A and B are shown apart, each in its own frame.
Chain A
Amino acid sequence: MILLMPLLIALLGAFVVLGFRNPRVATRAALLIGGLEIASLVVIVWQVHERGALQVGRYLRVDGLSSFFLINIAFISGLVLVYASGYLRHTGEGRFSSPRWFYALVFLFLFTMISVCLSANLGLLWIMMEGTTLASALLVGFYNTEGAVEAGWKYLMVCTVGIAFALFGTIVLYLAAVKAGMNPAAALDWVSLMDAVPRIGLDPHLVKLAFLFVIVGYGTKIGFVPMHSWLPDAHAEAPTPISALLSAVLLNCAMYAVMRYDAIVSRATGSGFPHTLLLIFGLLSMVVAGLLILVQSNLKRLMAYSSVEHMGIIAIGLGLGGPLGLFGALLHTFNHSVAKSLLFFSAGNVRHNFGTLRMDSISGMTRTMPQTSAALVVGSLAIVGLPPFSLFISEFAILSEAFAQARFLVVGLFLVMLSVVFGGFAYHLLRLLCGDPQSAPANGKLLSSEYSVMGIAGVCLLFFGARIPHIFTIILQEAMAVLR
């Protein structure tokens, strides 16, 4: 029953928030519901840690891997809700674009993402993954400007078509399982699939075809190059809390789906084919996004391309496999989420205070907005993978795995792109932060809601860089155990 709690809270919460016309009341209600939601997720994670996997009915199940991603959802959504409570203070009343609609859609969005992690059935996983697109499309188009409408339309079309391919892949895998003699009712159930696959011998051609479609389909949502076209637009035009949710939670949920399929396909055909595909998509995303980072002129688009690059890094970790590669990939999903939320929160402050995100019209930020500048510096140092921040550890783990497997092409490209991205971030940041201020910010002071979440994210990055908490390591190992 406990599994139903976060789903019910999110779903009912969405309708409750919609009932409050007063923005202040709606905000307080949203924070309260968000608190309940996070508490219920924490209880689930704790139960899984204590007792192992939980299952409700045929369609809902949570195990080590899902519980690891639930931690990610709980932590980031908490930060985002608190940040949004200050960020939305100037938003007016419009159709689908008032604070109450914002929170209602955010809770629906959370509902779909939590369902993705909780579903035991690959068909339900697909339905909920498509649901994430539908729940967030109106949030991407929230501001109703030309750019937001275009980004929303593009997001809706590209992701729906992309994910249609994932449905095709799901059907092909189902076909392979049914043909090999599995009971049709259980052939989409991924636990039964994992158990049955080594015994019954699926048709390897069909399984490979299925994985190809799935990685293209869910890869569209992850933002793998060349299916990434929606990602920078959606991230740049959405309200900042949503950019953070998209980048730090949604992309990880899609990655989670690919991890599940990768585990099944690796058991059926050996890990060669799926891992090679993951490596190709990972390296391609890293190289293309890394180069595009150099030429960006909009701060949030810069962050968006950096997300593509980091999804590439995670895919490389998965593609390398092995204990360190998998450890690095999983740890990196969490670390990247924290660092990217911090960066988007700072970008949101920049937008509020200067009214623009164009980097060539802002300079001398260290003098006018010292706190936001500090957050930008911490976030950027973390995101380019410098010690003592936590992303260094996960990237180092992935790199060590690549060295251990003597994949020198991967190592070479990885290191070159990390330096390119470092150069890109340094170039853009120095121009933003140094020099004489071109224009004064509207209001340099931060709200307590803003600097508290930025402080928490920054401290978390440093803390995880110095020492990963013991309980977190154990949960991570439980997640890795599911994938083997």
Chain B
Amino acid sequence: MGLVEIATGKVLSSFSVFLFLTILLLVVARRISTSVLLFSVQSAIIAAEVFATGFRERLAEAYVVGALILAIKVVAIPRAFFGLVDHLKTSRDVKASTTPTQSVFIAAAMIYLSYAAVHSYGQSVHVPEDALAASVALILTGAFLMVSRNKALMQMLGLLVLENGIFLAALTTTFGMPLVIEIGVFFDVLIGLLLMGIFAFRIRDTFDHLDVSKLRRLRG
């Protein structure tokens, strides 16, 4: 067995563990920059998995998708985030509404829940249970970050984590969707982030802060 095959096998068998690790670290991170870095690492793990799957299943398309992830999610988006943090001149705190201890317990509960949720489906669709559980856990974590972090930037990051989860689900169950669709989804994510960036500037200019939990004028 060649070195590449061994590496492929290792990546595919261990990436869920690393993803769970990023989830636990993400929920306790206190600074926006740490969270962005963790997101970048998380995307790199997923990119590695895409390459490994592409190699094992002999899918040329997967290399294109993997390269896109590397370029967009591992490099471009985190850079854009750091730029935003600098330009907005906002405090670097994520403004969590849960304490780190609570967050870890919630994250652990979510991971447990993910395993419980995929247990019945995992066997019927013949995919590794760990991978499917990791994708569901990522979706839940993204949603959790969006509701429990009050900074506009952290809500954007939560959305990205959630999107990572959906991407991973598509990858582990069907080896991804057709390439054109995949690229379209990437394009939407990019434009979406651009718009959210514009709105982040507007929120700061109009309200003088970035705490979206204080946007409560429109009710009922």
Q: How far is it, in angstroms, between the C-alpha of A338 and the C-alpha of B131 when the chains are bound?
A: 49
Residue A483 at the chain B interface, CB threshold 8 Å: no
Given contacts A127-B184, A147-B217, contact A167 B174 (CB under 8 A): no
B195 touches A150 (CB 8 A): no
A156 neighbours in B (Cβ, 8 Å): 192, 195-196, 199
Question: What total of chain B residues lie within 8 Å of the partner, measured CB to CB?
Answer: 39
Tell me the minimal C-beta distance from B42 to chain A in angstroms: 17
A-B contact pairs, 12 of them (CB 8 A): A127-B184, A133-B192, A141-B202, A146-B217, A147-B217, A149-B203, A150-B203, A156-B192, A161-B146, A161-B159, A164-B163, A171-B170
Partner of A130, one of B143, B152, B192, B202: B192
CB contacts under 8 Å to A, within B186-211, are 187-188, 191-192, 195-196, 198-199, 202-203, 206-207
Contact B218 A236 (CB under 8 A): yes
| A293 to B: closest C-beta gap in Å | 11
How close is A105's CB to chain B, nearest CB, in angstroms? 11
CB distance from A333 to the nearest CB of B (A): 25
Q: Interface on chain B toward A: helix, strand, loop, or mixed SS?
A: helix
Is the pair B174, A188 in contact by a Cβ cutoff of 8 Å?
no
A326 to B196, CA, bound (A): 38
CB pair B124–A205 under 8 Å, yes or no, is yes
Taking CB atoms, residues of chain A closer than 8 Å to B163 are 164
Contacts of A232 in B (CB 8 A): 218
B206: chain A residues within 8 A (beta carbon): 144-146, 149
Residues of A near B169 (CB, < 8 A) are 168, 171
B177 touches A171 (CB 8 A): yes
Most A CB atoms within 10 A — which of B177, B212, B215, B218? B218
Check: A185 CB closer than 8 A to any chain B CB. yes
* Nearest B residue to A301, CB-CB: B220
| Measured CA separation A185–B166 after assembly (Å) | 20
Distance of A150 from chain B, by nearest CB (Å): 4
Besides A59-B180, A301-B220, 5 other A-B contacts (C-beta < 8 A): A134-B188, A138-B195, A146-B207, A153-B196, A171-B173
B residues contacting A by CB (< 8 A) are 121, 124-125, 139, 143, 146, 152, 155, 159, 162-163, 166, 169-170, 173-174, 177-178, 180-181, 184-185, 187-188, 191-192, 195-196, 198-199, 202-203, 206-207, 212, 215, 217-218, 220
Cα distance A153–B199 when bound, in Å?
Answer: 6
Given contacts A123-B181, A130-B192, A184-B174, contact A138 B198 (CB under 8 A): yes
The interface residues of chain B lying within 8 Å CB-to-CB of A450 are none
Residues of B with C-beta under 8 A to A236: 218
Tell whether, in the assembled complex, residue A150 and residue B218 are in contact, meaning their CB atoms are under 8 Å apart: yes
CB proximity to B under 8 Å, residues A120-159: 121, 123-124, 126-127, 130-131, 133-134, 137-138, 141, 144-147, 149-154, 156-157
Q: Which residues of A contact B (CB under 8 A)?
A: 59, 96, 121, 123-124, 126-127, 130-131, 133-134, 137-138, 141, 144-147, 149-154, 156-157, 160-161, 164, 167-168, 171-172, 174-175, 178-179, 184-185, 188, 203, 205-206, 209, 232-233, 236-237, 292, 295-296, 301
Task: State A296–B219 Cα separation when bound (angstroms).
Answer: 10
User: When A137-B199, A149-B206, A171-B169 are in contact, do A131 and B218 touch as well, CB less than 8 Å?
Assistant: no
Select A150's contact among B121, B173, B184, B215, beta carbons within 8 Å.
B215
- Tell me if A167 and B178 are in contact (CB < 8 A): no
Alpha-carbon separation in the docked complex, A147 to B219 (Å): 11
B188 near A130: Cβ-Cβ < 8 Å: yes
What residues on B are CB-neighbors of A203 within 8 Å? 124
Q: Verify A206–B125 contact, CB threshold 8 A.
A: yes
In the bound complex, do residue A295 and residue B220 qualify as a contact, i.e. CB atoms below 8 Å apart? yes
Complex interface: chain A residues within 8 A of B195 (CB): 134, 137-138, 156
* A127-B184, A156-B195, A174-B174 known; A179+B125 contact, CB < 8 A: yes
Q: Which residues of B contact A233 (CB under 8 A)?
A: 218
Collect the chain B residues with CB atoms within 8 Å of residue A175's CB.
125, 173-174
Provide the bound-state CA to CA distance between A185 and B181, in Å. 11
Q: Which residues of B contact A145 (CB under 8 A)?
A: 206
CB neighbours (8 Å) of A59 from chain B are 180
A246 CB to nearest B CB, Å = 15
CA distance A154 to B196 in the complex (A): 10
A138 CA to B201 CA, complexed, in Å: 13
In the complex, the answer to whether A123 meets B173 with C-beta atoms within 8 Å is no
Report Cα–Cα, A167/B181, bound state, in Å.
11
Q: Are B174 and A171 in touch, CB under 8 angstroms?
A: yes
CB of B181 within 8 A of CB of A121, answer: yes
Contact in complex: A152, B184 (CB < 8 Å): no
The interface residues of chain A lying within 8 Å CB-to-CB of B192 are: 130, 133-134, 156, 160
Chain B residues contacting A124 (CB-CB under 8 Å) are 180-181, 184
Flag if A292 contacts B202 (CB, 8 Å): no
Q: Check if B217 sits within 8 Å of A123, measured CB to CB.
A: no
Docked pose: A138 CA to B166 CA in angstroms: 26
Question: Min CB distance, A128 to chain B, in Å?
Answer: 8
- A147 and B206 CA atoms in complex are apart in Å by 10
Known contacts A134-B188, A175-B125; is-contact A147 B166 (Cβ 8 Å)? no
